[in-house]
Amino acid sequence: MGISETFATAVSGLQANANKFRLAASNVVNANSDGYTAKVASTSSQSPSGVVTHVSQSDQPVDVAREFINMIEARIGYGANAQVIETTRGMSGSLLNLIA
């Protein structure tokens, strides 16, 4: 995997985790709305690199504790992908310094 593919994968991971966090927050906000059922986010691989988030409607009420766990997981995943970007940036800078 090249540098551009690594960046693309990490950026798609940032977007996927941001979407998962946003969905969990929306579920919490709407938990007490009449007739509202939880929406569920899932991710899948996207060719050639990266992930994409899919949202589906469940028939279950919102479990607020589960949604907070989802937000924590999304925050950790977002941070991990941000670290991949930072590490890749540093590696590409070092590589350019070797070439120059």
> Alpha helix (H) ranges present in 1-100?
3-29, 64-99
What are the pLDDT digits (tens) for 57-66? 999 999 999 9
pLDDT tens, 16-59?
999 999 999 999 999 999 999 999 999 999 877 789 999 999 99
- Cβ proximity of 52 and 90 under 8 Å: no
Q: Hey, is 43 helix, strand or coil?
A: strand
pTM: 0.85
Contacts of 83 (CB under 8 A, 6+ apart): none
